[in-house]
Amino acid sequence: MPSSYYIAPAIDSASSFKDNIFKEKVLFCTGGGSGICKGMTEAIMRHGANAVIIGRNLDRLTASAKDLSNKTGTTCIPAQADVRSPQSLQDAVKKTMERFGRIDFVICGAAGNFMAPIAGLSENAFKTVLEIDTLGTYNTIKATIQHVRVTKGAYISVSATLHYRGTPYQAHVSAAKAAVDSLSNTLAVEEGPHGVRSNVIAPGFTSGTEGMRVMTGNKRNKADGFSNPLGRFTEITDIANAAVFLFSPSASFITGQIIPIDGGGEHLRGDF
């Protein structure tokens, strides 16, 4: 057995793509006020896109939009909406069209999560996460699709790898994310003929996110002993770079795919 294992280097924020590939493009991102979706938004803005970030907490959204605009030199605006409410999403789309006149890219990223055993989970708790993750993704697609057809744009839905096997205390999230994968696949086949693509990014455990805090209480933030083949947690930058690729012309023939960004998944390393 090897005495030490390879640990993949964390990538820096420099992108391999040209700076201006998303010039004139507009991103509509639910959940963009924080975490993974904010990271994806920043990366796409760094390549020239303007963005609208959508969430429930207007103070946080406003601060994040300012931060993203300052960091990238392009424009981000906040739009307050609860993805469970079709009307509030339609209002966010209206605001986007009034400000920027188009939608090229959509990230369906708003999600809810907490740890609870299936035997103790209330019906409302189960339903709440399905409504945020699954119905929220459906509502986002419905609110944006007519505009994305015009630009022949693309969707990324943010899923997870929890449902590839059973994950304890995640019945609600696992069921919701399995349905998100399915929605994206249907979107890809129905909208491909209109020139619209749809893919899923499925992050593994991602450092510095609310999901990581909820699932581990921040007890598992070190790479030591972590058991995916590349030996570290997912970084937000890993996901952001995948999003840049999937929206870029380099991915113009890729649709209906589910792409785990998880270092190869959890496996036993054989060093026991």
CA distance 142 to 88: 12
The least CB distance from residue 126 to ligand HXC, in Å, is 8
DSSP 10: P
3-state per-residue secondary structure call for 198-219 = EEEEEECCECCCHHHHHHHCCC
DSSP 119: T
- Is 18 annotated in the active site? no
Bridge partner residues of 30 (DSSP)? 54, 108
- Is 159 annotated in the active site? yes
The least CB distance from residue 188 to ligand HXC, in Å, is 22
Nearest to 103 by CA among 44, 154, 156, 65: 154
**Judged by CB, which is closer to ligand HXC: 74, or 174?**
174
**Judged by CB, which is closer to ligand HXC: 15, or 139?**
139
CA distance 164 to 252: 27
Q: Hey, which bits of the chain come out as E strands? A: 26-30, 50-55, 76-80, 105-108, 154-158, 197-203, 258-261
The least CB distance from residue 196 to ligand HXC, in Å, is 25
The least CB distance from residue 96 to ligand HXC, in Å, is 23
Nearest to 136 by CA among 115, 105, 106: 106
Burial 83-94 (b: 16+ CB within 10 A, else e): bbbbebbeebbe
Tokens of 180: 């998100």
The least CB distance from residue 167 to ligand HXC, in Å, is 8
Where along the sequence are the contacts to ligand HXC (CB under 6 A)? 111-114, 116, 122, 124-125, 128-129, 160, 162, 173, 205, 210-211, 214-215
**Judged by CB, which is closer to ligand HXC: 77, or 201?**
201
Exactly one of 15, 64, 157, 159 is catalytic; name it. 159
**Judged by CB, which is closer to ligand HXC: 63, or 214?**
214
Q: Which residue has the tokens 């995948």?
A: 242
**Judged by CB, which is closer to ligand HXC: 26, or 156?**
156
Q: Which residues are catalytic?
A: 159, 177
